[in-house]
Structure formats: C-alpha cells, structure tokens
C-alpha cells in the first residue's frame, strides 16, 4: 500500500471545506481539512480514529479546490483502509462494493427474476434493515451484459483498433451505452476490442473498505492493460470513475503494482471521439440537419471527471452536433458518489447535496439530461424525474437521425 502522504502540505486555508458538499449538508462530517490533513497528525501518533471519517464521500471536490494540490481524499481513503484492517466492513458494504461479482454469480438467472428478487418490497425491506435505504434508486439488471451483447455486435471494414474498458455499470446495468459506444467508434473507423479479462476497476471496493479485493482486481486489470499497451492500441473508457482509478488512485494506493506492470491511464472516450472529429474520422455534419427538431440537453459534469482536469469533452462533443442545444448545469455534486447515497445513514445527505442539481435539471426545459457517470445518471433520474443518458447515446441518436439507413 502507499506510504503515508505528508499532512504538512496543507496550509489550513479551508478552501476544501468551502467546496465540500458533505460538510455543507451535514454536521456529522467534520470536513475534509479536519478529517484529512489535520487528523492525519493524530493518526501518526497512534491515536484513535475520528468516527466521522466514514462520512467522506470521496467525491474529490477537496482535491479539485486545493490550491496546494494536497490529495485530501486519498489521505481519507488510506485512513479508512487502516480502519478497515482493524474492523472489517459489514455485509451491507460488501454488497455495495461487489456488484460485478454478484452479477457473475447470478448470470444464469433471467434478468426479470433477478430484478424481482432484488427490487420487490420484501427484499427492499430486508436491504433497508441491512443498511441500504429502501428509497435509494437501485439500478436494474440488464437482460444480457454489455459484453455478452458486444459479442454479437457486427463489426466490419474497420482498419484501426481501440480497446474499450466498459466499467461495471455499463456492463451489468446499462449495455445500451456500451453498444452506442461501439456503434460510434465503428462509424469513426475503429474496431472495438472488449477483453473478457477486465474486471471492476476496484473503486467501489476502495470506497467501502475492501482493499485486498481492490488490489486483486488491480493486479488483473493492470496485467491485461499492459498487453494491449505494448501493442500500441489506444485504451479508452466512457466512465470517469474508472478513468480516475487507473490514472490517479492505483499509483497512490498500490504503487508496487503500477511499478510491476507499468501505468496505463485510460483515455476518456469522449475526448477520443473529439479527436476523431478533428482528424476527420467522425463526421458530425450532414445536409439533413435543417430537417431535425431541436434537442435541448442539460449536462452534468461528474465530480470524478472534473478531478482529472481534462475539461468537459462530453459537453463539447454534444455542442458539435447539429440541432443539439447543450447547457452545462454547473450545479454541483449529484450526491450519489458511487454507492454512498444508497446507504441508509447517508441517503438524506445525498439528496440534500443533489437538491440544487435536481432543481436546475427540472427547471431547465431540457428534453433529456446527460452525464458520463452511470450512478450520476441514476441519481439525476431519481431526483429530477428527467431521463439521463450518456453523451455517446446523444451522438448516436443524432447521427442516426441525420443519416437514416
């Protein structure tokens, strides 16, 4: 595991506190400066952990706002790892951390039966007693995973290749987005490779305290990525949290593994598609544009995308589309933070955090909301009742309308 981060990098300016959505929403969290760098000094003296540590959502807004680049969230996550070594997380947190594994175990059960089993009132009451709030918008299993459907997706005539890391949410719950990604990349002239060896990036496991499981997944993924990296094939993902895990978290949390296999940052799929547009590989214009009705879109930038500092390529991509009026919501965190907002003691906090965004979406007059993050999309639909799609789905819809078969 990573060596401890020096807390003296923090100058106690409290900028992170001002930008922390959790500290604003609840007094149960002492704030990122106190629980991060300030309390780290007590940890180094061997003193007991502060109980409010587990209220950190790992949303990265503290890291984004810090003027001295202190990785406050990583200090918190590493402290949580030490805490979880002493007291293993409970069954509730295991369930929320291992969605992909559960999906593999249940793969032979029809989706309708799985969804009934997971979402019926009796099961939700049991899960509520376990600590997963019965009001939380648990996603539904897809009839087939994205990777199952991708095997039957016909790709022909492409002379360039790209490797796609789908992430758990797209693979298990939202294969439509993955298929839209395949369609769009094919249109740009790329054959898309989706390796079966990929497993969850490990971020849900880190956030819920299962570090050894995250380490095992990191070992497998980094070894797989290294093989494709050596072939010089681009590797992309449409999920900002997966990209952040490979770009920033793994080198901090498991430096020995990144030294062993090499670091392979995943490219943002929307940024990759923008480059395709610039190179003329993907055409977004058409003579049919005048006949298209206007599509009004409101866009939410996931916190884990903003933490990477590469702009808003998904929004820029949609702004290149004919007849699409795209507005940036710019209304803060949605509150879900992966599995954080599903937890009973944190559900109301998550709803409070996302309230400004939900109101902005409802009052926007948009036909659809858009965000790259799968759980952000679930939370936005839950809080605003407006359907929420991935940017690549908007790209496919518009291109198919411009060029009907």
**Domains of the chain listed by start with CATH number:** 7-86 (1.10.1060.10), 146-273 (1.20.1050), 287-402 (3.40.50)
Neighbours of 290 (CB within 10 A): 8
Bridge partners of 165, per DSSP, are: 237
Count of positions (residues) in the chain = 405
pLDDT attached to residue 3: 53
- β-pairing, 368-370 vs 295-299, is parallel
Mean pLDDT by 10 residues, the chain (405 residues): 69 93 94 91 85 93 93 90 88 94 89 91 95 95 94 85 96 97 96 95 94 95 95 96 94 92 93 96 76 91 95 96 95 96 97 98 97 97 97 95 74
Task: Name which of 194, 245, 240, 238 is nearest 222 in CA terms.
Answer: 245
Backbone angles phi, psi at 71, to 5 degrees: -80, 70
> Tell me, what DSSP letter sits at residue 7?
G
Radius of gyration of the chain (CA): 21
CA distances in angstroms from 139 to 34, 150, 374, listed in the order given = 34, 21, 10
Task: Name which of 161, 173, 95, 172 is nearest 133 in CA terms.
Answer: 95
- β-pairing, 160-165 vs 190-193, is parallel
> Tell me, what DSSP letter sits at residue 132?
B
Per-residue pLDDT tens digits for 342-378: 999 999 999 999 999 999 999 999 999 999 999 999 9
b/e per residue 153-189 (b: at least 16 CB within 10 A): eeeeeeeeebbbbbbbbbbbbbbbbbbbbbbbbbbbe
Angle between helices 269-278 and 175-187 in degrees, nearest 10: 20
Could you tell me the pTM of the whole model?
Answer: 0.93
User: What is the distance between the alpha carbons of residues 224 and 195, in angstroms, rounded to a whole number?
Assistant: 8
User: What is the distance between the alpha carbons of residues 117 and 387, in angstroms, rounded to a whole number?
Assistant: 25
Residue 12 has, within 13 A of its CA and on its CB side, a CA count of 6
pLDDT attached to residue 288: 63
pLDDT attached to residue 256: 94
Backbone angles phi, psi at 328, to 5 degrees: -85, 120
User: What is the distance between the alpha carbons of residues 393 and 318, in angstroms, rounded to a whole number?
Assistant: 10
pLDDT attached to residue 4: 62
Neighbours of 288 (CB within 10 A): 13
User: What is the distance between the alpha carbons of residues 124 and 330, in angstroms, rounded to a whole number?
Assistant: 33
Bridge partners of 330, per DSSP, are: none
Angle between helices 72-86 and 211-230 in degrees, nearest 10: 130
pLDDT attached to residue 1: 46
Provide the CA 355 distance to its chain's centre, in angstroms.
20
- β-pairing, 160-165 vs 388-389, is unpaired
């Amino acid at each position: 595991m990573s060596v401890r981060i020096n807390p003296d990098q923090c100058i106690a300016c409290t900028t992170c506190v001002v930008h922390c959505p959790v500290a604003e929403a609840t007094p149960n969290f002492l704030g990122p400066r106190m629980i991060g760098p300030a309390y780290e000094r007590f940890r180094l003296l061997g003193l007991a952990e502060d109980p409010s540590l587990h209220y950190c959502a790992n949303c990265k807004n503290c890291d984004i706002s810090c003027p001295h680049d202190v990785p406050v969230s990583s200090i918190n996550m590493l402290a949580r790892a030490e805490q979880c070594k002493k007291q293993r997380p409970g069954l509730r947190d295991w369930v929320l951390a291992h969605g992909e594994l559960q999906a593999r175990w249940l793969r032979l059960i029809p989706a309708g039966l799985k969804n009934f089993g997971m979402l019926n009132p009796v099961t939700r009451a049991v899960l509520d007693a376990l600590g997963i709030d019965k009001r939380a918008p648990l996603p539904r299993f897809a009839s087939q995973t994205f990777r199952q459907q991708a095997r039957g997706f016909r790709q022909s005539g492409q002379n360039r290749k790209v490797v796609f890391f789908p992430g758990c949410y797209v693979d298990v719950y939202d294969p439509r987005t993955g298929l839209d990604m395949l369609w769009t990349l094919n249109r740009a002239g790329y054959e898309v490779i989706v390796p079966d060896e990929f497993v969850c990036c490990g971020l849900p496991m880190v956030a819920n305290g299962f570090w050894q499981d995250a380490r095992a997944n990191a070992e497998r993924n980094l070894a797989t990525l290294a093989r494709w990296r050596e072939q010089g094939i681009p590797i992309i993902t449409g999920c900002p949290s997966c990209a952040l895990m490979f770009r920033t978290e793994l080198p901090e949390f498991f430096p020995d593994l990144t030294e062993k296999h090499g670091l392979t940052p995943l490219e943002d799929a929307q940024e990759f598609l923008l480059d395709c547009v610039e190179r003329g590989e993907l055409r977004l214009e058409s003579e049919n544009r005048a006949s298209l009705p206007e599509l009004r879109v409101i866009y939410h930038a996931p916190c884990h995308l903003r933490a990477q500092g590469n702009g808003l390529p998904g929004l820029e991509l949609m702004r290149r589309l004919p007849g699409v009026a795209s507005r940036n919501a710019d209304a803060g965190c949605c509150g879900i933070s992966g599995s954080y907002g599903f937890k009973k003691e944190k559900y109301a906090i998550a709803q409070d955090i996302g309230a400004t965004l939900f109101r902005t979406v409802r009052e926007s007059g948009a036909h659809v909301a858009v965000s790259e993050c799968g759980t952000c999309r679930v939370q936005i639909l839950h809080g605003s009742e407006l359907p929420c799609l991935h940017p690549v789905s908007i790209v496919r819809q518009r291109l198919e309308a411009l060029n009907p078969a």
